[in-house]
């Protein structure tokens, strides 16, 4: 934790962040990053002189002063020279990709798929308060929301930006399967929670990170869709689940393609039936998110 109970931030953190507030120091980070890129391997070192020559600065004493401010947190000093630390490399990535630029432009676009709550095919991808959102224009439910950096919108049409979100969601999801936080790679804890809108409730897996407190919610049916047997069943019907954005899968969750039966809320247990054409596969899920294929005759049909 970086803040105490009164919300006071550790002085170390304040010092580290403020040590970046200087053009020459950022130039040092970028010079070290550039040399990594040139040698196509991370952790390439530069000598004091090489680094000094790469930065626009008048005196070596001034250069030493700025370099000193970075050593430890962002730059590591080794017997071979200087190199970026993990944090230094992250900061360099952030500067180069311009994620600090303010909000990107993005055209509202209708997207395929139906609303998880009202089942209407009225989904709109939109930019709202600097967040990407998939919103239902019929019942006003917000189905997906996420921040996005400028770099995600560059060199992409609006349709391609939307598509890139589809893949970002799956990359987050794959990490959450292993209890890894997609933001800081710390450990996440996942619980089942109920989300209600317009009189309809859906069950979500809500994952929160112990380290950075980042929270991500995903419908529990996604864990079923990513079971290898389900992936295979969809693939046999020409649907590649990882290449289909989450919102396009909502129609399977609101129709008879995937039926969910909550067997028990505490401890959590649910049964699922997936039917595509004349093939049906059944699964159960427990409170640890473990998905197990079961005989369909064993599926409980009442809630
Ligand atoms: Zn709706
Ligand atoms: Zn985290």
Query: What pLDDT score does 280 carry?
Result: 95
How far is the centre of ligand 2, averaged over its atoms, from the C-alpha of 254 (Å)?
31
Is 70 part of any domain? yes
Burial track 3-12 (b if 16+ CB lie within 10 A, e otherwise): eeeeeeeeee
Burial of 264 (0-12, 13-18, 19+ CB in 10 A): exposed
What percent of the chain is helix, strand and coil (3-state, nearest 5)? 35, 30, 35
Is 149 part of any domain? no
Residue at which a domain ends, from 96, 118, 136: 96
Determine which of 35-49, 123-137, 140-154 has the lowest per-residue pLDDT on average. 35-49
Contact 146, 246 (CB under 8 A): no
Contact 106, 161 (CB under 8 A): yes
Residue at which a domain ends, from 52, 68, 96: 96
How far is the centre of ligand 1, averaged over its atoms, from the C-alpha of 103 (Å)?
27
| Structural domain boundaries enclosing 230 | 222-298
- If pLDDT is split at 50, 70 and 90, which confidence band does 303 have? very low
Is 269 part of any domain? yes
Is 288 part of any domain? yes
d(CA 130, CA 105): 10
How far is the centre of ligand 1, averaged over its atoms, from the C-alpha of 219 (Å)?
15
Contact 146, 172 (CB under 8 A): no
- Report the predicted TM-score, pTM, of the whole model to 2 decimal places: 0.79
Is 18 part of any domain? yes
Question: Six-digit token pair at 50?
Answer: 């090489």
Task: Note the pLDDT tens digit of each residue in 167-186.
Answer: 999 999 999 999 999 999 99
Residue at which a domain ends, from 96, 120, 151: 96
Place of tokens 């809500």: 206
How far is the centre of ligand 1, averaged over its atoms, from the C-alpha of 139 (Å)?
4
How far is the centre of ligand 2, averaged over its atoms, from the C-alpha of 184 (Å)?
4
Q: What is the dihedral of CA 250, 254, 259, 260, to 10 degrees?
A: 80
Percent of the chain whose predicted confidence (pLDDT) is above 70: 93
Domain count, the chain: 2
Has residue 217 got a pLDDT over 70? yes
Is 204 part of any domain? no
Domain CATH for 67: 1.10.10.10
Give the SS3 label for residue 298. helix
How do beta strands 81-84 and 75-78 pair? antiparallel
Is 216 part of any domain? no
Ligand nearest 179 Cα, by number? 2
How far is the centre of ligand 1, averaged over its atoms, from the C-alpha of 117 (Å)?
5
Is 241 part of any domain? yes
How far is the centre of ligand 1, averaged over its atoms, from the C-alpha of 124 (Å)?
11
Task: Note the pLDDT tens digit of each residue in 189-204.
Answer: 999 999 988 888 899 9
């Amino acid at each position: 934790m970086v803040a105490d109970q009164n919300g006071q931030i550790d002085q170390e953190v304040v010092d580290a962040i403020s040590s970046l507030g200087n053009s020459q120091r950022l130039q040092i980070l970028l010079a070290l990053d550039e040399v990594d890129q040139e040698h196509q391997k991370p952790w390439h070192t530069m000598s004091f002189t090489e680094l000094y020559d790469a930065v626009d600065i008048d005196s070596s004493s001034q250069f030493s002063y700025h370099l000193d401010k970075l050593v430890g947190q962002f730059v590591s000093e080794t017997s071979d020279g200087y190199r970026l630390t993990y944090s230094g490399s992250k900061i360099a990535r952030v500067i180069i990709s311009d994620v600090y630029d303010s909000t990107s432009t993005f055209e509202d676009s209708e997207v395929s798929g139906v609303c998880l709550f009202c089942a209407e095919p009225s989904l709109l991808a939109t930019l709202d308060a600097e967040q990407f959102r998939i919103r239902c224009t019929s019942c006003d439910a917000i189905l997906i929301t996420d921040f996005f950096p400028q770099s995600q919108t560059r060199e992409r049409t609006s349709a391609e930006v939307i598509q890139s979100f589809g893949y970002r969601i799956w990359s987050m999801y794959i990490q959450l399967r292993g209890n890894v936080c997609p933001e800081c790679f710390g450990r996440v804890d996942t619980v089942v929670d109920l989300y209600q809108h317009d009189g309809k409730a859906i069950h979500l897996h809500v994952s929160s990170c112990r380290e950075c407190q980042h929270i991500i919610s995903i419908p529990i049916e996604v864990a079923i869709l990513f079971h290898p047997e389900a992936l295979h069943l969809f693939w046999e019907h020409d649907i590649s689940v990882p290449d289909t954005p989450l919102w396009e899968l909502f129609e399977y969750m609101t129709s008879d393609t995937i039926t969910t039966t909550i067997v028990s809320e505490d401890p959590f247990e649910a049964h699922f039936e997936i039917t595509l054409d004349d093939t049906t596969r059944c699964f159960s899920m427990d409170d640890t998110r473990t998905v197990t294929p079961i005989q369909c005759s064993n599926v409980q049909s009442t809630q």
